[in-house]
Amino acid sequence: MSEKIRVAVVGACGKMGREVVNAVVGAPDMDLVGACDVAFTGSDLGKVTNVQGLSLEIKADIESMLADAKPQVIVDFAKPFVMDNVRLAMRNGVVPVIGTTGITKDELNEMGKLAEETGVGVMVIPNFAIGAVLMMKFAAEAAKYMPNVEIIELHHDKKLDAPSGTSIMTAEIIDEARREAGVEWEKPLGGDDPSRGEKRCGVQVHSVRLPGLVAHQEVVFGGTGQALTIRHDSIDRTSFMPGVLLAVRRASTVKSLVYGLDKLL
Ligand SMILES: NC(=O)c1ccc[n+]([C@@H]2O[C@H](COP(=O)([O-])OP(=O)(O)OC[C@H]3O[C@@H](n4cnc5c(N)ncnc54)[C@H](O)[C@@H]3O)[C@@H](O)[C@H]2O)c1
């Protein structure tokens, strides 16, 4: 068997970080070599995450973690997003696989430039769930024939950013599909009242935040005498893990900025 991929998790003690720790420990082709979090610093990751047989000190300082653990890939779910972590990783030859959302266009552009400068790839994946990727693909197809569309995204109440990274990406994909198909859509009456949601790429996006939810999205298309709804629900955070492991496995082959899981499928 070839050598295992050396993986570190940033934001390892958060809700997503803990799932990633579990998934990486369970992956036969990966070694979990480092963990960063500003919470539980100095504690043992195995105890904090309840993962049997795991013993790894949680570090706050990513620079010393990179030097000591020598990972090939970092999976970053630190919240809020820290661009400095990405700069440090890429300048040290480490590929960041970023799940944190709320990343700005300027930060994405900087990552693209850093990849050109360093020859080190970087992945920004707003949604690691395969079902969400399919939802976006189907939405792009539907938008060619039913260009009047709005998005309702629903998340748990601890989410910091709104609208969600997935809804922004869906709006971008719909916009691209409508342009390529050369279709026009009707601007609804009612102006730009805040109750109409936030407009992204010409698509109104409505954000719901409630306890009990995980990550859900409806893309609602309207046509003459009919409506079409494409809905995806992540009901458990394990839904994201196959996508995370796929991205880690592809990390060594990537030399530029990869935006979205669909680019890896
Ligand atoms: N891409 C996806 O598929 C996907 C899926 C779900 C959630 N998310 C996103 O993942 C992010 C994390 O979500 P969560 O629910 O796990 O959040 P969380 O608050 O449970 O965890 C975040 C963790 O980051 C740590 N942290 C904060 N600053 C840090 C720093 N500078 N260095 C290291 N660690 C730091 C916190 O201590 C915490 O443990 C959010 O942006 C969320 O929107 C993405």
Q: Work out whether the CA dihedral 114, 115, 121, 122 comes out positive or negative.
A: positive
> Would you identify the CATH topology of the domain 5-124+238-264?
Rossmann fold (3.40.50)
The residue whose C-alpha atom lies closest to atom 11 belonging to ligand 1 is 100
pTM: 0.90
Q: Is the CB of 127 under 6 A from ligand 1?
A: yes
Cβ of 13 less than 6 Å from ligand 1: yes
pLDDT above 60 (res 1): no
The region of weakest confidence among 143-157, 168-182, 186-200 is 186-200
Average pLDDT of every residue of the chain: 95
Predicted confidence at residue 232, as pLDDT, reads: 97
pLDDT value, residue 72: 98
For the chain, residues classed under CATH 3.40.50.720 are 5-124+238-264
Strand spans (E) along 50-148:
73-76, 95-98, 122-124
pLDDT digits (tens, 9 = 90+) for 158-191: 998 999 999 999 999 999 999 999 999 988 777 7
What DSSP string describes 122-133? EEE-S---HHHH
The protein residue with its alpha carbon nearest to ligand 1, atom 5, reads: 127
Q: What architecture is domain 130-234?
A: 2-Layer Sandwich (3.30)
Q: Which of 210, 172, 203, 171 is nearest to 187 (CA)?
A: 203
18 CA → ligand 1 middle, Å: 10
Residues of the chain with CATH 3.30.360.10: 130-234
Q: Which residues are catalytic?
A: 155, 159
Atom of ligand 1 nearest to the CA of 126: 1
Say if ligand 1 is within 6 A of residue 14 CB: yes
The residue whose two tokens read 């009047």 is: 148
Note the pLDDT tens digit of each residue in 6-20: 999 999 999 999 999
